[in-house]
């Protein structure tokens, strides 16, 4: 583990070893970590706009096309806990670099893919690489930057990249797809090469951890999380009562229960129960899960609304989300400044209030709404609120963790965000579809009966009117539930998150544990 301390950062003496981070390079270290995080996060959305082109060029069937996204999600979400523990045991910088290398190589293969099999295999390996890199990226911030102002500022930038990455992915996806969809993958090559090269020279390495790898825990966690994520993804495209959905969800829950039992009995658990069992961390994880579930509605339904009802092109749709990226970056910096003066629950609680208001604003959308008046104000309010939420909770989720558990604690946070987004898509899609169908039936029943048959043009116009009205109604109900989710997260934050801002100014790491 790094021996860098706050005093050494301020007053360096002598030669720096491979286990020290030169103070003048802290900015470069942050750049390396955040560039990697941005690359991993935006890859979850950058491909979405390119899917129709991938389908045509590689001959994907409609049924298999969804796997371009799903297989990445499964590999990433399923392996996160293992990726975090590998970093704790065998070196966080080492696992981070290996993850980036895997991700970069897989991006090249995806970019030159000639068929379905080649593309899906590359996407799976991308997910594995991301699962190795993401939890260790956050852990590297906690071990590289001294507690207090430096770490708060670094966490602010990191949280901004994490929050804005999805929106940036939509912008880049629209721009790159207009050139060639393969550039959605090739864009990762220069970033990955630079990050891997600089990481070896800039980032602090940790000592190898004590203990051995918990193989039974790794197997049950990967299988359980993958099954749960697939079940939730399947529910989003079918229904909660679908036999496949129920089967995978049941298997996932059973395996995760078995995982918890295993973790309480082995000497060196993959996920020590002391990590989620701590009140501060448990609250942070839960709020990240529920806020992530609500936030996903904004990207999913708003992306469809902007393209199908406002009629924006893919590139213009991506640019429509630019204020979201700007808002969350600004708010993250405000939060990182306030965190040394205000307790995190008040910052995150206020952020949840803003985010709830922004999500509620989307419930008023109609087919006649405009971007400037109907969308932009609420996008800005939502983004500002989320930025205030993410920074304090990212800090509290890893505060007080024993150094040998830093990566796996970060992995739990990443897992909660991943599962939360998938859970949100499944839940809110069900609400959307049910309300859409009921609205279609209601509007259809109100159509005049009898009289002369409508012309082809009149029939098409009527069908489009019903489709647009039904979509906005269904989406508004989903946005309402999303707003309630975020509001609940805010209440939980205010009630249960009791850590003081003075505590975040210290390392607060728990004593080392042997198991």
Tell whether pTM > 0.85. no
Q: What is the pLDDT of residues 376-408, one digit of tens each?
A: 999 999 999 999 998 899 888 888 777 777 788
Say if residue 423 is in the same domain as residue 346: yes
End position of a domain, from candidates 213, 232, 249: 213
C-alpha span between 341 and 501 (Å, rounded): 7
Say if residue 78 is in the same domain as residue 148: yes
Residue 231 domain-assigned (yes or no)? no
Say if residue 344 is in the same domain as residue 461: yes
3-state SS class at 181: coil
HSE-CB of 86 using CA atoms within 13 angstroms: 22
Say if residue 330 is in the same domain as residue 182: no
Predicted local confidence at residue 118, as pLDDT? 94
Contact indicator for 409, 275 with CB cutoff of 8 Å: yes
Say if residue 205 is in the same domain as residue 281: no
Q: What is the pLDDT of residues 104-118, one digit of tens each?
A: 999 999 999 999 999
Please provide the DSSP assignment of 308-375 as one string.
Answer: HTS---HHHHHHHTHHHHHHHHHHHHHHHHHTTTS-HHHHHHHHHHHHHHHHHHGGG--TT--IIIII
Residue 21 binned pLDDT confidence (cut-offs 50, 70, 90) = very low
Q: How far apart are the first and last CA of the chain?
A: 17
Residue 451 domain-assigned (yes or no)? no
Q: Indicate if the pLDDT at residue 18 is higher than 80.
A: no
Report, as an integer, the average pLDDT of 439-460.
78
End position of a domain, from candidates 181, 213, 245: 213
C-alpha span between 226 and 100 (Å, rounded): 21
Say if residue 208 is in the same domain as residue 280: no
Q: Which residues of 209-228 are buried (b: 16+ CB within 10 A; e: fewer)?
A: bebeebeebbbbbbbbbbbb
What is the residue range of 72's domain? 23-213
- Residue 283: CATH number of its domain: 1.20.1250.20
Residue 300 binned pLDDT confidence (cut-offs 50, 70, 90) = confident
Candidate ranges 157-171, 204-218, 406-420; pick with highest mean pLDDT: 406-420
Residue 96 binned pLDDT confidence (cut-offs 50, 70, 90) = very high
Looking at the structure of the chain, the number of domains it has is 2
Residue 451 binned pLDDT confidence (cut-offs 50, 70, 90) = low
Contact indicator for 375, 365 with CB cutoff of 8 Å: yes
Residue 253 domain-assigned (yes or no)? no
Candidate ranges 50-59, 94-103, 136-145; pick with highest mean pLDDT: 94-103
Predicted local confidence at residue 63, as pLDDT? 65
Predicted local confidence at residue 208, as pLDDT? 63
Say if residue 209 is in the same domain as residue 278: no
Report, as an integer, the average pLDDT of 1-11.
37
185 CB-near residues (< 8 Å, 6+ apart): 107, 108, 110, 111, 122
Please provide the DSSP assignment of 59-116 as one string.
Answer: T--HHHHTHHHHHHHHHHHHHHHHHHHHHHHH-HHHHHHHHHHHHHHHHHHHHT--SH
**Higher local confidence (pLDDT), 364 or 24:** 364
Looking at the chain, the whole-number percentage of residues with pLDDT higher than 70 is 91
Which of 14-28, 106-120, 169-183, 455-469 is least confident? 14-28
Contact indicator for 477, 312 with CB cutoff of 8 Å: no
Say if residue 411 is in the same domain as residue 291: yes
Q: What integer best gives the mean pLDDT of the chain?
A: 83
Please provide the DSSP assignment of 397-425 as one string.
Answer: HHTT--GGGHHHHHHHHHHHHHHHHHHHH
Residue 236 domain-assigned (yes or no)? no
Contact indicator for 281, 275 with CB cutoff of 8 Å: yes
Contact indicator for 396, 142 with CB cutoff of 8 Å: no
Say if residue 74 is in the same domain as residue 201: yes
Say if residue 279 is in the same domain as residue 192: no
C-alpha span between 55 and 67 (Å, rounded): 11
Q: What is the pLDDT of residues 252-280, one digit of tens each?
A: 999 999 999 999 888 888 888 888 888 88
Residue 225 domain-assigned (yes or no)? no
Residue 435 domain-assigned (yes or no)? yes
Say if residue 64 is in the same domain as residue 205: yes
Q: Indicate if the pLDDT at residue 66 is higher than 90.
A: no
- Counting every residue written for the chain, the total comes to 515
Radius of gyration of the chain (CA): 23
Say if residue 202 is in the same domain as residue 289: no
C-alpha span between 321 and 328 (Å, rounded): 11
Contact indicator for 416, 275 with CB cutoff of 8 Å: no
Predicted local confidence at residue 510, as pLDDT? 43
End position of a domain, from candidates 213, 240, 255: 213
Q: Indicate if the pLDDT at residue 514 is higher than 70.
A: no
Measure Cα distances from 92 to 27, 33, 511 in Å: 19, 12, 19
Residue 197 binned pLDDT confidence (cut-offs 50, 70, 90) = very high
Residue 230 domain-assigned (yes or no)? no
C-alpha span between 102 and 114 (Å, rounded): 20
HSE-CB of 330 using CA atoms within 13 angstroms: 12
Residue 311 binned pLDDT confidence (cut-offs 50, 70, 90) = confident
Residue 130 domain-assigned (yes or no)? yes
């Amino acid at each position: 583990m790094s021996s860098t301390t706050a005093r050494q950062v301020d007053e360096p003496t002598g030669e720096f070893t491979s286990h020290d981070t030169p103070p003048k390079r802290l900015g470069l270290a942050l750049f390396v970590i955040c560039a990697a995080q941005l690359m991993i996060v935006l890859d979850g959305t950058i491909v979405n706009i390119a899917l129709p082109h991938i389908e045509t060029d590689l001959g994907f069937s409609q049924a298999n096309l969804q796997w371009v996204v799903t297989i990445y999600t499964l590999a990433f979400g399923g392996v996160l806990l293992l990726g975090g523990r590998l970093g704790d045991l065998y070196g966080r910088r080492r696992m981070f670099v290996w993850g980036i290398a895997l991700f970069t190589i897989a991006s090249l293969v995806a970019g030159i893919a000639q068929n379905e099999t080649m593309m899906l295999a590359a996407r799976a390996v991308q997910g594995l690489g991301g699962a190795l890199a993401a939890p260790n990226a956050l852990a590297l911030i906690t071990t590289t930057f001294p507690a207090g102002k430096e770490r708060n500022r670094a966490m602010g930038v990191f949280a901004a990249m994490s929050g804005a990455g999805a929106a940036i992915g939509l912008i880049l996806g629209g721009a790159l797809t207009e050139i060639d969809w393969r550039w959605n993958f090739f864009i990762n090559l220069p970033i990955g090469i630079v990050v891997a090269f600089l990481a070896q020279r800039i980032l602090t390495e940790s000592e190898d951890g004590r203990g051995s790898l918990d193989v039974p825990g790794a197997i049950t966690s990967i299988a359980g999380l993958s099954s749960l994520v697939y079940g939730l993804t399947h529910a989003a495209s079918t229904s909660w009562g679908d036999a496949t959905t129920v089967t995978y969800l049941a298997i996932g829950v059973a395996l995760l229960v078995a995982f918890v039992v295993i973790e309480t009995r082995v000497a060196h658990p993959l996920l020590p129960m002391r990590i989620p069992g701590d009140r501060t961390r448990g609250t942070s994880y839960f709020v990240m899960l529920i806020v992530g579930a609500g936030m996903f509605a904004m990207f999913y339904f708003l992306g469809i609304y902007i393209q199908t009802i406002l009629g924006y092109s893919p590139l213009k749709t991506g640019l429509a989300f630019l204020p979201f990226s700007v808002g969350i970056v600004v708010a993250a910096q405000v939060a990182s400044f306030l965190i040394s003066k205000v307790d995190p629950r008040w910052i995150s609680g206020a952020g949840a209030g803003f985010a709830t208001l922004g999500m509620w604003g989307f419930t008023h959308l109609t087919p006649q709404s405009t971007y400037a008046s109907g969308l932009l104000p609420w996008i800005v309010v939502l983004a500002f609120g989320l930025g205030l939420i993410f920074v304090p909770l990212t800090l509290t989720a890893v505060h007080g963790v024993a150094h040998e558990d830093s990566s796996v604690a970060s992995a739990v946070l990443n897992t909660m965000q991943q599962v939360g987004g998938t859970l949100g898509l499944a839940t809110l899609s069900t609400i959307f579809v049910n309300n859409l169908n009921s609205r279609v039936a209601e509007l259809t029943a109100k159509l005049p009966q009898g009289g002369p048959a409508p012309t082809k043009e009149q029939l098409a116009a009527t069908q489009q009117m019903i489709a647009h009205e039904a979509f906005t109604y269904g989406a508004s109900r989903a946005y309402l539930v999303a707003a309630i989710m975020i509001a609940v997260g805010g209440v939980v934050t205010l009630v249960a998150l009791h850590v003081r801002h003075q505590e975040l100014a210290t390392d607060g790491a728990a004593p080392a544990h042997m198991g």
